[in-house]
Amino acid sequence: MRINDKAHIRWACRRGILELDISIMPFFEYEYDSLSDKEKNLFIRLLVCDDADLLDWLMNKKKPQDKELRKIVQIIRRKNKIRGAISV
């Protein structure tokens, strides 16, 4: 996926697991456009990760071993916390 291919990115954000959907989709909808190109690429890299890993990372049960992925997970968690709960 390319960082400007928002239709495909939006599709990749749909995970089918409620906890992931309420973390990833609102982040994409509300924050994606304000990310740097590097952060957008990290977000796309994150979307190809396994759902179980994503869930653990976004629920703060584990941290990604990859430092770059850890950075985008922290950004998602921080932005979601500031914005508050949003239903999908």
pTM of the predicted structure, to 2 decimals: 0.91
Domains of the chain with bracketed CATH: 6-83 (1.10.150.250)
Per-residue model confidence (pLDDT) at position 66? 97
Query: How far is the C-alpha of 5 from the C-alpha of 66, rounded, in Å?
Result: 24
Q: Which residues of the chain have pLDDT under 70?
A: 85-88
Per-residue model confidence (pLDDT) at position 45? 97
Which of the 8 DSSP states describes residue 62? S
Q: Show Cβ contacts of residue 63 under 8 Å, excluding neighbours closer than 6 positions.
A: 57, 70, 73
Using an 8 Å Cβ cutoff, are 83 and 26 in contact? Answer: yes
42 is written with which tokens?
A: 């990290």
